[in-house]
Amino acid sequence: MLVKRRKELHEATARQIEALFNSHLEDHYAALAHHYSCSGNNLKALEYLQLAAQQAMQRSANAEAINQLNAAMQFLNTLPETPQRDRQELALQTMLGPALIATKGNGAPEVGAVYQRALQLGRQSGEDARLFPVLFGLRSFHLIRGELQPAFALGQQLLSLAEDARDPGLLVEAHLALGNSLFLFGKFVPALQQFEQAISLYDPKKHHVHAFVYGLDPGVFCLARTAWILALLGHSDQASKKVEEALALAHRQSHAFSLAVALVHRNLVLEIRREWPAYQQQAEAVIALCREQGFGSILAQSTMYRGYALAQQGRTEEGIALIREGLDAQLATGASLFRPRFLCFLAEACGTAGRFEEGLAAVAEAVAIVEKTGERYNDARLLQLKGELVLRGSGVQAELRLQTEAEECFRKSIEIACQQEAKTFELKAVVSLARLWKQQGKKAEARQALAEIYGWFSEGLDTKDLKDAKALLEQLSSNRLPKCHVEKDQEQAT
pLDDT in tens, 333-350: 889 999 999 999 999 999
- pLDDT above 50 (res 63): yes
Instruction: In the chain, count H helices and then E strands.
Output: 25, 0
Q: Per residue in 461-476, is it b (16+ CB within 10 Å) or e — as a string?
A: bebebbeebbebbebb
Residue-wise pLDDT for 449-458, tens only, equals: 999 999 999 9
Residue 81: per-residue pLDDT: 85
What is the tens place of the pLDDT at every residue in 430-448? 999 999 999 999 999 999 9
Confidence of residue 83 (pLDDT cuts 50, 70, 90): confident
Q: Work out the pLDDT band at 397, boundaries 50, 70, 90.
A: low
Residues constituting the chain: 494
Alpha-carbon gap, residue 339 to 472, rounded angstroms: 32
Looking at residues 357-383, what average pLDDT do you find? 97
* pLDDT tier, 479 (very low <50, low <70, confident <90, very high otherwise): very low
pLDDT at res. 45 = 87
> In sequence order, what are the residues at sequence separation of 6 or more whose Cβ sits closer than 8 angstroms to the Cβ of residue 229?
183, 188, 191, 192, 195
**pLDDT band at 494, cuts 50/70/90?**
very low
Q: Is the pLDDT of residue 493 over 50?
A: no
Contact 41, 75 (CB under 8 A): no
Determine the pLDDT at residue 482.
46
In single-letter form, the type of residue at position 361 comes to A
DSSP designation for 478: T
Q: Cα 212 to chain center, whole Å?
A: 17
Does 486 score more than 60 pLDDT?
no
Q: Confidence class of residue 395 from pLDDT cuts 50, 70 and 90?
A: low
Look at residue 488 and tell me whether its pLDDT is greater than 80.
Answer: no
Closest CA to 474 of 466, 199, 248, 371: 466
Whether 446 contacts 473, CB under 8 Å: no
pLDDT at 351: 95
Residues 6+ apart with CB under 8 A from 24: none
Mean pLDDT of 39-47: 88
Q: What is the mean pLDDT of residues 124-137?
A: 83
Q: How far out from the chain centre does Cα 122 lie?
A: 28
Cα 205–260–314 angle (5° rounding)?
Answer: 150
Distance CA 135, CA 188 (A): 24
CA 419/CA 455 separation, integer angstroms? 19
- 49, 42 contact by CB (below 8 A): no
Q: What is the pTM of this model?
A: 0.87
In degrees rounded to 5, what are phi and psi of residue 276? -70, -40
Supply the pLDDT for residue 27: 87
Residue 490 has pLDDT above 60, yes or no: no
Residue-wise pLDDT for 162-190, tens only, equals 999 999 999 999 999 999 999 999 999 99
Our CA dihedral for 99, 100, 105, 110, rounded to 10 degrees, sits at -160
- pLDDT value for 396: 55
Average pLDDT of the chain to the nearest whole number: 92
